[in-house]
């Protein structure tokens, strides 16, 4: 599933919409360059749960938000690849949290049941792009695990409505 965002607010709206279709224990893995929209997506996701005070955990590594279900926001930007084994992020799944992981490529992902992946690209990062408009973002969504894929499937009608509201 591909979403084209022309502003941070549109990226937040996508995150907010997806929140309603996520299950406790699910992981949302966020990939993309600096400034590609990962934290804006998390802000929208948390807003969907009624939480408005999202700050990037670049220095704290993990922020926890007491929502229902609880949201855990992880930023592995400052973690060296291969050292993520120090973090037992899968414990958040057992506790029923929805865990959003920025810079997920730095995490040695254990075999998990339900994962939603969101890959963020600026238009300039896409092969063959000639528009040159780096304000535009492309967000590709995919899933693995029965629960995550069922949630993404249930999100499809909402996704179509969101695209219509935004004029895409």
Residue ranges per domain, the chain? Answer: 2-166
56 and 36 in contact (C-beta within 8 Å)? no
Count of helices and strands (H, E) across the chain: 4, 7
Q: What is the pLDDT of residues 120-154, one digit of tens each?
A: 998 766 655 555 566 789 999 999 999 999 999 99
Q: Which two tokens stand for residue 150?
A: 């069922």
* Other CB atoms within 10 A of residue 9 CB: 13
The CATH number, out of the four listed (3.30.390.50, 3.40.50.300, 3.40.640.10, 3.90.220.20), of the domain defined by the range 2-166: 3.40.50.300
* Other CB atoms within 10 A of residue 58 CB: 13
- In order of 78, 102, 162, the CA distances from 81 in angstroms are 9, 13, 36
Judge if pTM exceeds 0.75: yes
Give the residue with greater pLDDT, 141 vs 88: 141
Q: What is the mean pLDDT of residues 36-52?
A: 96
């Amino acid at each position: 599933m591909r979403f084209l965002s022309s502003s941070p607010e549109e990226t937040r709206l996508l995150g907010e919409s997806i929140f309603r279709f996520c299950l406790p224990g699910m992981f949302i893995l966020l990939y993309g360059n600096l400034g590609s929209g990962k934290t804006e997506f998390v802000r929208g996701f948390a807003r969907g749960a009624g939480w408005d005070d999202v700050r990037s955990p670049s220095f704290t590594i993990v922020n926890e938000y007491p929502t229902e279900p609880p949201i855990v926001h992880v930023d592995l930007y400052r973690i060296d690849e291969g050292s993520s084994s120090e973090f037992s992020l899968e414990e958040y799944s057992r506790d029923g949290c929805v865990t959003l992981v920025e810079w997920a490529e730095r995490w040695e992902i254990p075999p998990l049941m339900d994962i939603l992946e969101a890959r963020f690209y600026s238009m300039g990062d896409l092969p063959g792009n000639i528009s040159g408009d780096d304000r535009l973002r492309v967000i590709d969504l995919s899933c693995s695990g029965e629960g995550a894929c069922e949630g993404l499937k249930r999100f499809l009608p909402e996704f179509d409505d969101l695209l219509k509201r935004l004029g895409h």
